[in-house]
Amino acid sequence: MTTKTPASGMPTPLPGAGTNWRTRGLCRDEDPELFFPDTAADRRAALAVCARCPVRERCLAEALAEEGGRNTHGRHGIRGGTTPTGRQKLHSRTAKTAT
């Protein structure tokens, strides 16, 4: 699934994209706790799953859209192959380029 980037710079789902992309996510076969890591090793394991995932970009687009401008305390877990800090930096970068 691809996304469009409006003038705001934030990716948005394409019309009709729906949420069925989740059924193709590799995370569906993993323990959900893996994506809320306590250790660096767990974080690397979660990111490795995301790196192979065919819907990683769609997952990241949804995470960014849902989280908006929240700081890292409002972001949780590994989503779309990124950590909460990584998503905050990505959001800040795209927000700056949109202005």
Residue 42 placed within a domain: yes
CA-to-CA separations, 54 to 36, 48, 49, 57, 90, in angstroms, rounded: 20, 13, 10, 8, 20
Is residue 4 a part of any domain in this protein?
no
Q: Flag whether 69 is in a domain.
A: yes
Containing domain of residue 50, as a range? 21-98
Say if 62 falls within a structural domain: yes
**Per-residue tens of pLDDT for the chain, all 99 residues:** 344 444 444 444 444 456 689 999 999 999 999 999 999 999 999 999 999 999 999 999 999 988 887 776 778 899 999 999 999 898 888 766 765
Residue 86 lies in a domain: yes
To the nearest 10 degrees (0 to 180), the angle between helices 56-67 and 40-52 is 120
- The closest alpha carbon to 94, from 56, 53, 61, belongs to 61
Does 53 reside within a domain? yes
Cβ 62 vs Cβ 22: under 8 Å: no
**Does residue 14 lie within any of the structural domains?**
no
The tally of domains found in the chain comes to 1
